Amino acid sequence: MRHKSYIELCSVIQENGHEFHKDFHTWLYPNMHVFNYIVEQADLVYSKGRKYYAIATLWEVARHHSAIREWDAEFKLSNTWRTDVARLMSYTYLRFDGFFALRKRTGKKLGCYPWGEPL
């Protein structure tokens, strides 16, 4: 499976900006390896025939693996970004459309502008 590039993912975020936290792209860039790892783990679950799965479970697995693999003391896997990752996976990879239970988003912190430009 070919991973999507940061630019490809930002295009998806920009197209659906009202669904993402404004600063999600700033988390995504230095954490592309985390995003790709979660996609790979979701693919393993999906390949076993699961139709639905919890992003929280995948997030905790990634958090655990990040803690034992990386020596960087910065805490990267704040729950703030968990649903943004699930949404991005759902919009980017058709097999994950409907895989995660996602609610409609509303709020002041939504509306991502990846390059500082309004959508």
44-63: per-residue pLDDT in tens?
999 999 999 999 999 999 98
Rounded to the nearest integer, the mean pLDDT of the chain is 86
Nearest one of 48, 45, 69 to 57, comparing CA atoms: 45
Gap between the Cα atoms of 11 and 59, Å rounded: 23
**With 70 as the cut, is the pLDDT of residue 75 above it?**
no
pLDDT score for 45: 97
- The residue among 2 and 115 whose pLDDT is bigger is 2
**With 80 as the cut, is the pLDDT of residue 119 above it?**
no
